[in-house]
Amino acid sequence: MNLIKKTLFVVFLVQLLIFSYIKIFHEKGKETLISEAIANTTPLKTKNPTINKEYVTSIVNSTISNLVEKHRIEEQKIQKQKIAKQKVILPKKSKIKTKCYAKNSPKKTLLKKTYSSNSKIEKYAKKFLGNKYVWGATGPKTFDCSGFTQKVYRQSAGIRLPRVSREQAKVGKYIKYANLKQGDMVFFDTTKEKLGKVNHVGIYLKNGNFIHASSGGKKVMITNFNKKRFYKKRFLWGRRVLKESNNVATISNNKHREES
């Protein structure tokens, strides 16, 4: 019995040493731990044939395997805890409301009315219909013929014309009667002598109509070339300035005023 007690004590001692060894050097593999533990275990010398080296070795092996399994379980728990801490909590995906349109669905578009420079000139000029004619006046309520054209082109198209009609007749592209278009200036010689010198100006509209500040009508009015043959006979030429608005030179006011 004393021998068995001593053997069990030795086994307990060996287990304690093995456990300490595993704790200190847990990085080593299981096979290394087991082989080193068996190698370090000294065989017992005993006279009892029932207690021999193989018996002690089997006890030590079973003890070591239990310890190693416990150690493995603990390591797994530690690894799981580390993985759980490393998990990043992602924010919930925000639901963004988006409008989906079918490929063939009609697109809603706002169509804005656009006006050409020619149309703008006509539209602006007609605002002054009926305003009184006053020689030398440039607005805002009364005009002479060149004061009227100067006001209309500057405000509606940004074109700065000279003050008097004979100077305005030199600006822009020369246009014949047959080639007149909306927005062109039209020039006349209304003198009895028909000297061929410009003394009146208006703005061509469409369909043979032109708008001008008339001294005879004493107001801003629209006249038709075909109905008022006098103006067709006294027509000299037209001038187109819309395409050359950036190149139109501003000429200082002339002291001599025209008679319309």
Among 26, 100, 145, 256, the active-site one is: 145
Find tokens 């006349």 and name the residue.
188
Among 26, 71, 100, 212, the active-site one is: 212
In the residue annotation, 100 being an active-site residue is answered as: no
CB atoms within 10 A of CB 181: 13
In the residue annotation, 26 being an active-site residue is answered as: no
Q: How far apart are CA 179 and CA 99, in angstroms?
A: 53
CA distances (Å), origin 187, targets 106, 156, 175, 214: 51, 20, 10, 13
Determine the length of the chain.
260
Among 26, 71, 100, 200, the active-site one is: 200
| Contacts made by residues 209-214, CB under 8 angstroms, sequence distance 24+ | 210/186, 211/122, 211/125, 211/126, 211/129, 212/145, 212/148, 212/149, 213/131, 213/133, 213/143, 213/144, 213/145, 213/147, 213/148, 213/260, 214/133, 214/145, 214/260
Q: Which residues are catalytic?
A: 145, 200, 212
